[in-house]
A and B are shown apart, each in its own frame.
Chain A
Amino acid sequence: MTVIGTDVARLDGIAKLTGKQQYTGDILIPGMMHAVLLRSPHPHAEIIKIDTSEAEKMGAVCLTYDDILINGQAVVYNERSVSVPAATYRDRTILPNKARHLYEPIAAVAADTEELAYKALQAVKVEYRVLQPVYDPQEAMEEGAPQLYDKVYLGDKEVDICNNIGVSRNISQGDVEAGFARADRIFEQDFELPRIYHAQLETKGCVVAPEPDGGITVWATAQSIHGNRQLLGRALNLPLSKINVKKIAIGGAFGSSIQVNTVTPICAALALKARRPVKLISSREEDFYSHQKYPVRFHVKMGVTNEGMITAAELSALVDFGAHQVQPLPFLGCVAGWFASLYQYGGNIGFHGTAVYTNKTPCCAMQGYGNPQTNFAIESMIDIISGEMGFDAIEFRLKNYRGVGHEFWGQGPTIRTIIKSCGVEESLLKGREIMGWSGRGRHTDKQGRIRHGLGVARGFHTSGTGGPKEGEVIDYSSAFIKINEDGSVDVVTPVMDLGGGTWDAIAKFVSEVLQVPLQRVGLSPTDTKSTAYDVCTHATRGVYCGGGAAYHVALEVRKKLLETAGRLLNEHAENLELVRDDDLGQGVVYVKGLRDNQMTVGEIARQAQINSWGTLQYAGSYRQKNCPPCFTTHFVEVAVDTLTGEITIPKVLIYGDCGTVVNPELFGGQLIGSFGRGMAYTLYENLTMNEEGGFTTKPQAASEPIYTSQPVKDGELLNHGALADYKLPTSSEMPLIENVLVRHTDTYEPTGPFGAKGIAESAIASVQAAIANAIYNAIGIRFYRLPITPEIVLQAIQKKAVK
């Protein structure tokens, strides 16, 4: 029996359940110092002078802008390095000489204890020249708005920044105007999605130990060890061979550590200056100001014929990405891609994206990289059009979706693939039976205090960012696999597991290819020095790309194993068979048809060693040449309390298409957990900040001051960065587990390891629109902005009643 598709205990399960798993925060090194950061109390200010002398008298080591100069120059970089350099904007340095958002780190202090470090921090004196901040992206583009930057770099080119516009991207295909001309009706609508916070369990941290040879060893919260190493090499001007980034467990990420975390180069520079190991762990409050999800304002336009064919579509996106570019360039490209890949639109697609600097926390990827945002707009739009034109919302989708044989943009316009496996139709057709779609009724038929509604939406994400041709994004992975002299196997992979079970999948692929029992596959604790490159665990590429590389390397090892066995069994390798023998607890190789003539894998490896033929091993790098979409469909039932505006979700059906399901329980866990996050995004999460002091050309409405137990500074989050005041739903808001139905489609991805593709980010893509569509079905009110809170719902209900 194969291990693929069967549930087995997680490889890291025991370590995690018993608290033995080491994370960055657990690293303790004798002589280690503790670092804390001095953060700007102003959202926008030039730093005139920093006086650290008092802190140094207390025994602290301090790091300021002056310390990070190399030959008088600060190295300007982008923390995110998964795009090719020519498509990467660079605008930041290890520490800045200008603060561009509230609580941006501007100096660092290390001391023997955390307490002393905090005391020394208070003794650091900073002189600022306070500048006016700008918060609203529309206003940031207006004449007279404060400018965050004069110039930044795109690749090696210097580029001027005008009106705070960081990136603008226009992408089109076909003839949009002609498409609209063919339509019987045109629909236009605005949508808006807010900033939210990743709320990953582990706050960003780092430990750096200087080595006697002038190098450093690094433990960091990271989704890519090689990304960290490369950036540190560049920022600190060290050869890569002197930097060793250790692979260590991470306490969740949701995309927040695709880039190298801001704390990591600071910690490394401080350790080099102090010549002692330094630990720097963010508090939760600091983490809130370190990264947030991209907010987007959309304008959607679609043309539709009376027969239900979409003839053209246009999408404009305005993104306020904050104080630094953690790559809105590929973000906009991806938004265009998710939009383009949902439906065929008669081949006529227009996209206009603008991304603007504001004095806010920088935005970075968060589960879906623009996909949940785009999907909310488009899948709401599909529901609106269905309702207005009298189409069945499922039939309308089936007529227009992109499926097998169509093109999918896996990572913006330059990374495309032809879809070869697709569960969309199955999920919609079976799903509507299971959920009683035809009996859902119209909102006009519904009565009583609590009104129920059923909504559907479908989505996807890419599996990795590979493609037949190279594009804007880097994608390949590596692995080193060896068969030990007892038949057990070591797998050395640079791929990170963010908690989703990527390592389990990799071990299963190797177990299957080499027919070695899973318990005898060991994943090596490793680092950048002993692995070749892997870009990053992002873009739902862990299983498909990281696993794909391990799969291909394992095939090479298998070839060597059979060749060696052939020498020992006096047969040609092609006449041999490799199977797992569970009685022997090993793989065995035998001559086809002659089961008696066999050797165990351990015997073969051992004999190869004794004969001095060498170890059965292979190391290689591998790129996937496709980026197959993994599809999801959500059928959501909501109950709206028309007296309080509260929305609950009694039942949900989630369809996932990841090709072959490698880890069934983890597949379910991903879909259910992501449903929770999607529900949070749709109904709960609110990362409001005080924008009173921001630049504006509009007369400001006199508003009542918001009451909180603590005053809120200009540019500060109303929750003060406290998780307790950031109302993510708890498990008790989830539908009861028996009412969360999870299904996988019957699909097989021909280009994936054992038919597998990804699932991770797709799991959230269509949650938002499905909930909003269900709310419409319940009460006949359409919401175009998230979150849809009880107060907003009640307001809308009252407004509708008055009309």
Chain B
Amino acid sequence: MKDFAYHKAPDLKSVQQLLTEFAEHALPVAGGSNVMVDIRNGRLNDRELIGISDIAELQGLRFSRGKIIIGAATKISEIAVSQLLAAKAPALWMAAQVFADPIIRNSATVGGNLAYASPAADLAPPLLALNADLLLLKKGGKRKLPLADFFLGVNHTALEPGELIASVEFAANARSAFYKLGLRNAMAISIATAAAAVKRVRDGSISEIRLAMGSVAPRPVRCLHAEQFLLGKQALHIDPEALAQALVWDISPIDDIRASAVYRRAMAPVLMQRAIARACGGCADEVFAGKKSADEGRAGA
């Protein structure tokens, strides 16, 4: 049997109090879909869990002046059904379609996905490609941090003790896409994921693009070499070999129970090319109106 105590925090103020009170024993928990697993397998023990999933200030999805702001305690299922995101940030929306399964999506949150800092966190690549910022809260202060500076390693982030993610924000970009490869269509931690967000295309050639991948390095990564390579290239006619060559410098995959490093290296360009093609040609409304939402974002679909 594992021991833990649970305190539900009704508002931000009480979270701060509880975090201070229990200091290094405190652990915020939102959906609990990582925390409960770690309690069960013994990685976490004797912690004071502070429930933040009902705090109003951490909820919701807003769009104003070209920016999308998502509260940290927003559930993945809310992202998955959001017409707004399907239209304005399809990469994120597609990641939500293939995230775990409908039951987990009803509890798992955006903040939890990022804060757990798994290399396989499915929301990380699309948010990196969308150049998102995090709003972080701490007793007596808040700060903004680019997501690109947030992930430090496996389960290791730039969060300071007692600091919470309040929200994530980014500029809308309809020309973005995401693909995931897993051992099955649902309830699968990814073998590799790829996200692309095109900022500008001139005469069919790419002039600004952001790429990111998951499960191919100790943390979700921006693919700067591949981005560089793509500049000036015709979006729909990319040489796969050359893209693969560029990606080699961006990723450092390992063998694990899901796949070998070799397979991941082979899959990276396949997924990335698909994400780029979708992002460049992608009209998001069409995506949302699409026939089978469950297929969206799935690599083999």
Question: What residues of A have a CB within 8 angstroms of the CB of B42 in the complex?
Answer: 710
Q: Which of B168-193 contact A (CB under 8 A)?
A: 181, 183-188
Convert B116-151 into 0s and 1s, putting 1 for each residue whose CB lies closer than 8 angstroms to a CB of A: 000000000000000000000000000000000000
Residues in B whose Cβ lies below 8 Å from that of A727 = 183-184, 188
How many angstroms from the CA of A137 to the CA of B186 in the assembled complex? 35
For A709, the chain B residues whose CB sits under 8 A away are: 41, 43
Q: Which of A675-706 contact B (CB under 8 A)?
A: 684, 688, 704, 706
Is B299 within 8 A of A646, CB to CB? Answer: yes
Task: Give the residues from 374 to 397 in chain A that come closer than 8 angstroms, CB to CB, to chain B.
Answer: none
Instruction: Tell me the complex Cα distance, A719–B185, Å.
Output: 18
Question: Scoring A residues 99 to 124 as 1 if CB is less than 8 Å from chain B, else 0, what string do you get?
Answer: 00000000000000001001100000
Q: CB within 8 A of A684: which of B183, B260, B294?
A: B183
A795–B266 Cα distance when bound, in Å, is 10
CA distance A755 to B16 in the complex (A): 73
B300 touches A730 (CB 8 A): no
Contact of A724 among B185, B187, B263, B299 (CB under 8 A): B187
CB <8 Å contact, A707 and B184: no
Q: Return the CB mask of A756-791 against B: 1 if under 8 Å, else 0.
A: 000000000000000000000000000000000111
A707–B256 CB distance below 8 A: yes
A709 CA / B189 CA spacing, docked (Å): 12
Question: Does A729 interact with chain B (Cβ within 8 Å)?
Answer: yes
- CB contact list, B287-301 vs A, under 8 A: 294, 299-300
Q: Which of A643, A684, A720, A794 contacts B184 (CB 8 A)?
A: A684
Check A18 for interface membership: any CB of B closer than 8 A.
Answer: no
Bound-state Cα–Cα, A505 to B4, Å: 50
In the complex, chain B residues 23-75 whose Cβ is within 8 Å of any chain A Cβ: 41-43
Q: Which of B101, B188, B260, B263 has the most chain A CB atoms closer than 10 A to its own CB?
A: B263
In the bound complex, how far is the Cα of B263 from the Cα of A643, in angstroms?
A: 11
Q: How far is the CA of A644 from the CA of B294 in the complex (A)?
A: 19
Is A73 an interface residue, CB under 8 A from the partner?
A: no
Query: Can you name the residue of chain A whose Cβ is closest to the Cβ of B298?
Result: A732
Complex formed: what's the CA distance from A719 to B258 in Å? 10
Contacts of B181 in A (CB 8 A): 644
Q: Is B257 within 8 A of A706, CB to CB? A: yes
B267 in the interface (beta carbon within 8 A): yes
Q: How many residues of B contact A (CB 8 A)?
A: 25
- How far, in whole Å, are A733 and B270 apart by their CA atoms in the complex? 21
Least Cβ–Cβ distance between B167 and chain A, in angstroms:
28
Say whether B259 faces chain A, with CB atoms less than 8 Å apart. yes
Question: Do A733 and B185 touch across chains, with their CB atoms under 8 A apart?
Answer: yes
> Does A708 lie within 8 Å of B187, measured CB to CB?
no
Specify which of B186, B188, B263 is in contact with A791 (CB 8 Å cutoff): B263
A152 within 8 A of B: no
Q: Is the interface of A mostly helix, strand, loop or mixed?
A: loop
- In the bound complex, residues from chain B placing their C-beta under 8 Å from that of A684 are 183-184
Contact pick for B300, options A644, A688, A718, A729, CB 8 Å: A644
> Which residue from B41, B255, B266, B299 sits with its C-beta under 8 Å from A794?
B266
A646 to B179, CA, bound (A): 14
Q: A425 on the interface (CB 8 Å rule)?
A: no
B78 to chain A, nearest CB (A): 22
- Name the A residues within 8 Å of B184 (CB-CB): 684, 727-730, 733
Docked complex Cα distance between A221 and B254 (Å): 42
Give the shortest distance, in Å, between A343 (CB) and chain B (any CB): 35
Q: Which residue of A lies closest to B192 (CB)?
A: A644
Query: Which residue, B1, B101, B181, B185, has most C-beta atoms of chain A within 10 A?
Result: B1
Contacting residue for A710 out of B41, B187, B188, B255, CB 8 A = B41
Docked CA distance A564–B14 (Å): 82
- Chain B CB count within 10 A is highest, among A119, A708, A720, A791, for A791
Q: Choose one: B1, B185, B257, B300; the contact of A708 (CB below 8 Å).
A: B257
Please determine whether A643 and B270 come into contact, CB atoms closer than 8 angstroms.
yes
Contacts of B300 in A (CB 8 A): 641, 644, 646, 648
Q: Specify which chain A residues have a CB less than 8 angstroms from the CB of B256 in the assembled complex.
A: 706-708
Rounded to whole angstroms, the CA-CA distance of A730 and B185 in the bound complex is: 7
Report which of A688, A733, A791 forms a contact with B260, defined as CB distance below 8 A. Answer: A791
Chain A residues near B1 (CB, 8 Å)?
115, 118-119
Q: How far is the CB of B42 from chain A (nearest CB, A)?
A: 8
Residue on A nearest B269 in the bound complex, by CB: A643
Quick check: is A725 within 8 A (CB to CB) of the other chain? Answer: yes
Write out the residue numbers on chain B whose beta carbons fall within 8 Å of the beta carbon of A648: 300
Shortest C-beta distance, B34 to chain A (Å), equals 10
Interface string of B247-268 (1 = CB under 8 A from A): 0000000111101100100110
Q: Are B186 and A707 in contact (CB under 8 A)?
A: no
Most chain B CB within 10 A, of A704, A706, A790, is at A790
Digit string of B87-117 for contact with A (CB within 8 Å is 1, else 0)? 0000000000000010000000000000000
Q: Is the pair B257, A644 in contact by a Cβ cutoff of 8 Å?
A: no
- Inter-chain CA distance A131–B260, complex, in Å, is 32
Quote the shortest CB–CB distance from A395 to chain B (angstroms).
35
Q: How far is the CA of A725 from the CA of B189 in the complex (A)?
A: 9
If A706-B255, A707-B256 touch, whether A644 touches B187 (CB-CB below 8 Å) is no
A646, B184: Cα distance in complex, Å: 10
Interface positions, chain B 212-270, Cβ under 8 Å from A, are 254-257, 259-260, 263, 266-267, 270
Bound Cα distance A729, B263 (Å): 20
Distance between Cα atoms of A491 and B299 in the complex (Å): 53
Q: How far is the CA of A732 from the CA of B184 in the complex (A)?
A: 9
Interface residues of A in 711-735 (CB under 8 A from B): 718-720, 724-725, 727-730, 732-733
In the assembled complex, which residues on chain B have CB atoms less than 8 Å from the CB atom of A730? Answer: 101, 184-187
Tell me whether A791 and B259 are in contact (CB under 8 A): yes
Within 8 A of B (CB), among A459-517: none
State A688–B259 Cα separation when bound (angstroms). 13
CA distance A198 to B101 in the complex (A): 22
CA distance in complex: A519, B101 (Å)? 40
Chain B positions within 8 Å of A643 at CB level:
270
Residues of A near B254 (CB, < 8 A) are 704, 707
Nearest CB to that of A789 among chain B residues?
A: B183
Complex CA–CA separation, A115 to B270 (angstroms): 50
Least CB distance, B102 to chain A, in whole angstroms: 11
- B187 contacts which chain A residues (CB < 8 A)? 724, 730
Give A653 to B214 CA distance when docked, in angstroms: 38
Residues on B with C-beta less than 8 A from A646 are: 299-300
Known: A115-B1, A643-B270, A644-B270. A794 touches B257 (CB 8 A): no
- If the complex has contacts A730-B187, A733-B185, A791-B260, are A707 and B266 also in contact, measured as CB distance less than 8 A? no
Residues on A with beta carbons closer than 8 Å to the beta carbon of B185: 729-730, 732-733
Task: Pick the residue among B41, B255, B270, B299 that contacts A707 (CB under 8 A).
Answer: B255
Q: B101 to chain A: which residues have CB within 8 Å?
A: 730
CB <8 Å contact, B270 and A710: no
Closest A residue to B267 using CB positions: A644
A709 to B155, CA, bound (A): 10
16 A-B Cβ contacts within 8 A? Answer: A641-B300, A643-B270, A644-B181, A644-B267, A644-B300, A648-B300, A688-B257, A704-B254, A707-B255, A707-B256, A707-B257, A710-B41, A719-B257, A730-B184, A790-B263, A795-B263
Beyond contacts A648-B300, A732-B294: 19 other A-B pairs, Cβ-Cβ < 8 A, are A118-B1, A644-B270, A644-B299, A646-B299, A646-B300, A707-B254, A707-B256, A718-B257, A720-B41, A724-B187, A727-B188, A730-B101, A730-B184, A730-B185, A730-B186, A733-B185, A790-B263, A791-B260, A795-B263
4 closest residue pairs by CB, A with B? A707-B256, A646-B300, A727-B183, A118-B1
Seen from chain A, the residues whose Cβ lies within 8 Å of a Cβ on chain B are 115, 118-119, 641, 643-644, 646, 648, 684, 688, 704, 706-710, 718-720, 724-725, 727-730, 732-733, 789-791, 794-795, 798
